Amino acid sequence: MHTLLQIDDRLNVLAQEASQHVGSPYKHAGLGLFAGEKHSEISGGLAGSAGDIEFEIGYTFDEGSRNWRVPPWTVDSRIIIYCADRNLPAPTISCA
């Protein structure tokens, strides 16, 4: 089982690897812990000029009981890519 410190360390390494792979700097944006009365989550990821890599670890919603529960944990992740058409004048963005 990974601790939050191990996850944090791994995200720093991932930021370096993503920077080398993409050729654009990435920075570990830090981990966030959001605690609520009925739902909590841990989120974090990388931010860079080429896009963001984000994740959230949270409770699983049980449809049968209509309640949040742990375990199992649910992991949602997304990669957001910023793209621009070089033929268009800045700051027009085109992701076609």
User: Does 24 have pLDDT greater than 80?
Assistant: yes
In a domain, residue 53? The reply is yes
User: Does 9 have pLDDT greater than 60?
Assistant: yes
**Domain tally for the chain?**
1
Q: How far apart are the first and last CA of the chain?
A: 41
In a domain, residue 50? The reply is yes
DSSP 50: T
Is cis: bond before 91, omega within 30 of 0? Answer: yes
In a domain, residue 16? The reply is yes
Q: What pTM does this model have?
A: 0.60
| Domain of 18, in residue numbers | 4-81
In a domain, residue 35? The reply is yes
Is cis: bond before 25, omega within 30 of 0? Answer: no
* Mean pLDDT computed over every residue of the chain: 79
Confidence class for position 90, pLDDT limits 50, 70, 90: low
Report pLDDT digits (tens) over 51-80: 888 888 888 888 888 887 777 778 888 888
In a domain, residue 59? The reply is yes
